[in-house]
Amino acid sequence: MTIFARFSCFARLVLMLCLSGSCGIIAATAKEAQMMQLASISFEPGQTVPSQYTCEGANISPELHWSDAPENTQTFALITDDPDAPAGTWVHWVMYNIPADTGALPENLPKSETLENGIHQGRNDFPATGYGGPCPPRGHGPHRYFFKLYALDTVLELKKGVTKAELERAMQGHILAKAELMGLYERQ
């Protein structure tokens, strides 16, 4: 079958679906597939994370904001990690039960297990609670830091001090969408 013949078959199928009243389903599916976005005023995607958000600075968490979450989102979860660490992926931040009506996290969140609105922070690999900024070994070159936001269809019931692995297990089957922001850092 030629490419033209395949396209013609596809076009006829779409036409038949529209004539049967199913075009609305196609449009709804396309709208639902819209990608959730994650960004920061603290740094641009793919650019250097400023030192105030690292172990060489104040080591405070950066501002993060997001949009286009699925309508049936119940909570969000956030994991930040460095896949370039010499010993394997290093976890910098574990956060969950961020309410669905939240669209941003301010800079310099407290490093406590429970924040306002029921937001929980787990253990990073330093090991500590809350955010631990980029801190690659000197001379190891630039590392990538992935801030990964997950829209979930549930509120998670987890013990205090949850790890990345425990959070990922709990999220299985509940992820509606994912957005990612990557920043770079190299110690001087």
Q: Which two tokens stand for residue 127?
A: 């090991």
Distance CA 100, CA 185 (A): 30
Distance CA 55, CA 133 (A): 6
Same domain assignment for residues 26 and 6: yes
Which residue segment(s) compose the domain that 3 sits in?
A: 1-33
Same domain assignment for residues 97 and 130: yes
Same domain assignment for residues 23 and 48: no
- Structural domain total, the chain: 2
Same domain assignment for residues 122 and 167: yes
- pTM for this model (two decimals): 0.82
User: Cβ(124)–Cβ(130) under 8 Å?
Assistant: yes
Same domain assignment for residues 117 and 158: yes
Distance CA 141, CA 82 (A): 13
- Quote the strand ranges of the chain, DSSP E: 37-39, 64-67, 75-82, 90-99, 104-105, 120-121, 143-152, 175-185
Same domain assignment for residues 72 and 14: no
Distances (CA, A) of 23 to 27, 54, 71: 6, 50, 21
Same domain assignment for residues 93 and 174: yes
Q: pLDDT tens digits for the chain (188 residues)?
A: 443 343 344 444 343 444 444 444 333 333 444 599 999 999 999 999 999 999 999 999 999 999 999 999 999 999 999 999 999 999 999 999 999 999 999 999 999 999 988 999 999 999 999 999 999 999 999 999 999 999 999 999 999 999 999 999 999 999 999 999 999 999 98
Same domain assignment for residues 170 and 99: yes
Same domain assignment for residues 74 and 96: yes
Domain harbouring 57, CATH code: 3.90.280.10
Same domain assignment for residues 17 and 58: no
